[in-house]
Chain A
Amino acid sequence: MKHISPPTRRPHHMRSTHCQSGWMWRQSWLLSRPSWIPSLTPSWILSLILCTAAACGPRHTEPLPGDSLYQLTTAFTNDDGRSAALSDLRGQRVALAMIYTECVYVCPRIVADMKRLQRALAEQGGPDVRFVAVSFDPQRDTPAALRRYRKRRGLDQHWSLLTAPEPDVRELAAALGLAYTRLENGEFSHTIAITILDENGVILHRQEGNTGDTKAMLEYLRHSP
């Protein structure tokens, strides 16, 4: 019989600083755990008590603002093959871009700009920010392809790589104000942009083009709520 090891850590890309969402994740795992792991139960109860005592995560129970991008209910798939919703990103600022892994022209530069943002924030002890890349190309950008891309580009646990079926990709692009079209050779012609979202998924800023200028984006990411 295959040894089933319980997941003791949240997948790196879905980890957040809010213990309420951590508690919910643990609970769903707990409901499905094999019965021979009673030893983890005490720590689960402890974290539940601590969480409710500290009243952490009340922000997530407030309704989303009317213009929040997180009202899109698309079930994306991340590079772990797990289901992810945009609303999972709630609670920190987000830099989001749409790319595709086979893109050799400017998508690598978009990712480089985002990594530059990440480095600058880390150096300045900046806030915890999530970096999200959503693929235009669900046909070729399977979870496995996204996983390979993560390794190739050296994207750490602050990055989420997401894919979804075509109509949902079209919807996200439309909500972000991005244009794209699939060309006959499989390449995509698309707007080059990085969008900054606030803690509730409201669009704060869109940086178009590939100028490499990260100053404005840093300002929006650093500004505390």
Chain B
Amino acid sequence: MSVATPPGVALTDAKRVDLDAIEAELARLWRTPGTDDGPAATRACTSNLIVFCASRAEAEACERDIPEIVRQHPARVLLLVADPEAASALEASVSAFCTPAGRGAHFCSEYVVLRAGGDAAQRLPSAVRPLLVGDLPTTLWWTPSDRSPPDSGKLFAQLDAMADHVVYESRGWRDPVDAIVATTRWAADAPTGKAISDLAWRRLEAWRRLVACALDPGVVPGALQRIREVTVEHGPHALPKAWMFVAWLAGRLGWRPVRGLLAAGPEIGWGFASPSGPVEVRVRRHAAGEAELERVVIHWSGAGSAATRTFERLGPERLGVVGDASGERPAVVATLEGARPALVARALPARGGHSLFREALEAARRMAGVLER
């Protein structure tokens, strides 16, 4: 297996070392006064970041993302690559990513790559454990996205046990229903204080903000309490995201799912009981497009009035409120959430908001519980 020099501003070329020589090599990096004609570099580390990749292709994608992640959140990065097709061996390389900090200074994050071929992957946790910097939070970014992390076996369980925070992405789950149930159970059993972040949930923040602002009691008094219908349209592979969006509404507004139907075709429907009456929700998949929410239509009525708000994805990084009460033209907000490195970097320091995510996850589980297939 080749040892690629990480992209971005690398302090030195990646150097292959024995596993028991990793710390010594890292220490040597900081004793060496910079590169030949470069300035001295300062180690910056606010956390441990374990990144697990289940294939070479995923590892290459992560190696492109990591420089931007550590630019925003300096960390000791431990990239674990499980390559089932390679010969059984565990190899390590050491380098650092550096970010210019002005006046010739660089702040650098340590970067250790552990590549495990074949069944050597089961040795990865034992290699990782001594490399974690003490007294700092540890985040596990579990990149495989075909199934939920807790369904991923013993290797995940061992890495999970080391982490204060697990980041994953539900976009791409092959069986969203089972995956949501498994994830909720895992989240419920997690120790107090453990943080869990779904990047797909984070991608929803712009939608949540847009809907929260548009339906704020200061803008449309009483609307939140009188919602009767919600329609969510999404692109392929975005069902978990749409599901979590509905779960967010249900959790926040006190809706209890009473029935659900997964019809043949692209639509799922739920009926909820809310404090003020029934709420019907439809989630529809578009045949083509990006793995994003495309449109949300919320209708409310009661007390002698009715109104609808339509929220649309108007293009890359642009959401808008269209039609009724948006004014004479769509009201548009920017969303800079798209790129994965930025999402991960913003997730890393987050400590608050996890109770909200768990609330939504629990609501999603209840929705799964009433679903007839």
Our verdict on whether A and B bind, yes or no, reads no
Residues of A that sit less than 8 Å from B by CB: none
